[in-house]
């Protein structure tokens, strides 16, 4: 693939800033470029989390849940298909049990039969099978008007916890907890679904404390034991890692590195071949998260939730192995679908000039799997640098399409879908989501018109220059920065992720040697200009770059490679081009 343009972040002169002595100068430079000052580092403990009492809806939700716990009522947690929904469900079930609930179960809707979230069909199924007294939604519910109305009609109380953007009207639940409700004063609008339910548990513990619930026991439940799951769901859901989310993720990673994570998370580390002692956010996002997600995409998300709820290591290992097998199937299916999607784009370009490529791209194949279209949209969005909607039949032969959309910076997906809906009422059956990711359903007969309207809105809202693919760089590294100490400081800082990008640099190197490994990856020895020694480097999926020029400009991360218990400096190269 053609190398993308490199844009360098504006440098910040940090000389004279009172950084703590243990902050490496290179890390100080990176922090400053991300808008952090020394004072911000002092506010990075769990005690510095935004207070639960600033999150709206908690008093009502706590009262409903506390009464249900005291009466021993049946509580059913209704989750979502993805890793955020799975971890949030596990956190809710574990946390409620810790707080005294004696009868807590969970349910994730069947994608084909019951659709997304707390649907009317799901409520009817709950009533018929194992009627609960109270339904607690996690990572869904803010758009479940019909489902909540059905629950109310059946005598089921509903508490909604969600983080998705609300519509013009809210469901008639007994309580709604969502930091993105209009007028909500909670400072972190970026909480994932798992973060919202964790905050609910914190508030519920305080509510029960005020009622004297823990006096007899002499101690309160330690909800910090759930932070490994909170970290996993937060990173996997790609929500921005603002200051509050970084505190949550950093605390979860500390538990994981200390060997104090739950059996399911430990098993997922083993299954993915990652070392929990060296855990960073990227392990959660690229190794553990996809395994949990795969269950909801291709099978039953209950498998992922059961892994996260397991307390027995052997059972957790068995479930994690199953998740790894499903993830391998997902990877193969995704690769085939992405290849089909790219072929569609190539065929389109063959018929039109490049300038006629839609600003907003909508793709559909009748044999695509609805559980993988989000990953296809994400891959194609990265390659085309345009918002992409990927559609598949809700089930084989169905006329209803399920679609997932992924966006580029500056194009708010949910707002764009709302505009399409306002222009053409009834064109989209249902939709919801965020700025960067959304989901929708529509009739296959409406696909062509939807594609035209989506492209029209995209052309209206996206400047042509914004379609240029580029990568951010933190600039060049000095020869003295290519050292183990700097790489270690960068690796374990952050935590890095969405909205708080992992440091990336670009330098000119001499290629001293290279070879292919694993048939398609490029292993190199690169010597930076002005440097005395060459450094190991690897570029994945690099057949197009073989053989490399003798001098290259490389975009890379400064990292550490562990082999046989020893760490060595290594560059993770993202792209190379002739210097």
Mean pLDDT calculated for residue range 302-320:
97
Q: Are strands 400-406 and 437-443 parallel, antiparallel or unpaired?
A: antiparallel
Dist CA 464 CA 212 (whole Å):
61
* Arithmetic mean of pLDDT over the chain: 93
- Given the structure tokens 């975009």, which residue do they identify? 555
Dist CA 152 CA 173 (whole Å):
8
Which candidate, 243, 292, 288, places its Cα nearest to that of 269?
288
Radius of gyration, alpha carbons of the chain: 24
Name the more confident of 431 and 354.
431
Most confident of 113-127, 277-291, 429-443: 277-291
pLDDT at position 420 over 70: yes
pLDDT 10s digits, 372-398: 898 889 988 988 899 999 999 998 888
- DSSP conformation class of 102: S
Residue 177: per-residue pLDDT = 98
pLDDT band at 12 (very low <50, low <70, confident <90, very high): confident
Mean pLDDT calculated for residue range 307-333:
95
H-type alpha helices, 211-312: 227-236, 243-257, 263-272, 281-283, 289-298, 302-309
pLDDT at position 181 over 70: yes
Q: In terms of CATH architecture, what is 352-468?
A: Roll (3.10)
- Written as six digits, the tokens of 165 are 């953007």
pLDDT at position 354 over 60: no
pLDDT at position 419 over 90: yes
pLDDT 10s digits, 439-476: 999 999 999 999 999 999 999 999 988 888 889 999 99
| SS3 state at 286 | helix
Burial class from Cβ neighbours inside 10 Å (0-12, 13-18, 19+) for residue 206 reads middle
pLDDT at position 1 over 60: no
Least confident of 275-279, 334-338, 439-443, 522-526: 334-338
Domain extents for the chain? 5-40+472-578, 51-325, 352-468
Dist CA 124 CA 284 (whole Å):
35
Please give the full DSSP string across 337-397, using - where no structure is assigned.
HHHHHHHHHHHHHHHS-GGGS-SSEEEE-TT--TTTHHHHHHHHHHHH-S-EEEEEESSTT
β-sheet bridge partners, residue 8: 473
pLDDT 10s digits, 119-137: 999 999 999 998 999 999 9
Please give the full DSSP string across 180-205, using - where no structure is assigned.
TSTT---S-TT--HHHHHHHHHHHHH
The pTM assigned to this predicted structure is 0.91
Does domain 51-325 fall under CATH 3.90.1640.30? My reply is yes
Say how many residues make up the chain: 579
The set of residues, in sequence order, having a beta carbon less than 8 Å from that of 33 and lying 6+ positions away, is 9, 10, 11, 12, 474
Name the more confident of 41 and 556.
556
Q: Where does 5-40+472-578 sit in CATH, by number? A: 2.40.50.460
pLDDT band at 2 (very low <50, low <70, confident <90, very high): low
């Amino acid at each position: 693939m053609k190398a993308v343009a490199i844009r360098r972040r504006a440098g910040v002169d940090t000389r004279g800033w009172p950084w703590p002595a243990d902050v490496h100068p290179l890390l100080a430079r990176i922090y400053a470029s991300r808008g952090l000052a020394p004072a911000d580092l002092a506010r990075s403990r769990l005690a510095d989390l935004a207070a639960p009492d600033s999150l709206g809806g908690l008093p009502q939700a706590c009262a409903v849940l506390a009464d249900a716990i005291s009466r021993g009522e049946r509580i059913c947690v209704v989750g979502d298909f993805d890793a955020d929904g799975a971890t949030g469900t596990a956190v809710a079930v574990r946390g409620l049990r810790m707080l005294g609930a004696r009868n807590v179960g969970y349910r994730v809707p069947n994608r084909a039969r019951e659709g997304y979230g707390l649907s009317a069909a799901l409520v009817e199924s709950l009533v018929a099978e194992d009627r609960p007294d109270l339904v607690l939604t996690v990572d869904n519910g803010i758009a479940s008007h019909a489902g909540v109305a059905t629950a109310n009609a059946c005598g089921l109380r509903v508490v909604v916890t969600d983080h998705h953007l609300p519509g013009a009207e809210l469901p008639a639940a007994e309580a709604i907890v969502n930091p993105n409700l209009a007028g909500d004063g909670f400072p972190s609008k970026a909480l994932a679904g798992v973060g919202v339910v964790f905050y609910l548990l914190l508030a519920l513990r305080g509510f029960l404390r005020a009622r004297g619930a823990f006096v007899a026991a002499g101690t309160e439940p330690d909800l910090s034991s759930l932070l490994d799951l909170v970290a996993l769901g937060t990173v996997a859901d790609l929500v921005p890692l603002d200051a509050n989310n970084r505190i949550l993720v950093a605390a979860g990673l500390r538990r994981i590195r200390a060997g104090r994570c739950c059996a399911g998370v430990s098993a997922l580390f083993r299954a993915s071949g990652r070392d929990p002692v060296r855990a960073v956010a990227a392990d959660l996002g690229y190794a553990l998260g996809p395994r949990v997600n795969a269950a909801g995409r291709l099978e039953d998300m209950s498998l992922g939730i059961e892994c996260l709820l397991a307390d027995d290591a052997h059972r957790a290992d068995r479930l994690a192995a199953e998740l790894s097998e499903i993830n391998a199937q997902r990877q193969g299916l995704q690769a085939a679908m992405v290849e089909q999607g790219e072929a569609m784009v190539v065929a389109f370009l063959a018929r039109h000039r490049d300038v006629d490529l839609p600003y907003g791209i909508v793709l559909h194949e009748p044999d695509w799997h609805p559980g993988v279209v989000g990953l296809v949209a994400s891959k194609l969005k990265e390659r085309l640098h345009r918002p992409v909607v990927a559609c598949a039949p809700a089930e084989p032969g169905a006329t209803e399409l399920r679609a997932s959309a992924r966006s580029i910076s500056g194009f708010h997906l949910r707002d764009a879908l709302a505009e399409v809906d306002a222009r053409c009422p009834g064109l989209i059956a249902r939709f919801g989501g965020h700025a960067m990711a959304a989901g929708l359903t529509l009739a296959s007969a409406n696909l062509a018109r939807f594609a035209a309207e989506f492209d029209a809105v995209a052309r209206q809202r996206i400047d042509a220059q914004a379609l240029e693919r580029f990568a951010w760089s933190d600039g060049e590294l000095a020869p003295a920065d290519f050292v183990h100490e700097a790489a270690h400081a960068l690796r374990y800082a952050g935590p890095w992720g969405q909205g708080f990008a992992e440091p990336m640099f670009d330098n000119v190197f001499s290629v001293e040697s290279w070879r292919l490994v694993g048939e398609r990856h490029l292993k190199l020895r690169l010597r930076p200009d002005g440097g005395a020694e060459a450094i190991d480097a690897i570029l994945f999926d690099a057949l197009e770059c073989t053989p490399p020029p003798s001098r290259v400009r490389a975009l890379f991360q400064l990292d550490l490679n562990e082999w046989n218990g020893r760490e060595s400096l290594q560059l993770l190269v993202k792209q190379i081009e002739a210097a």
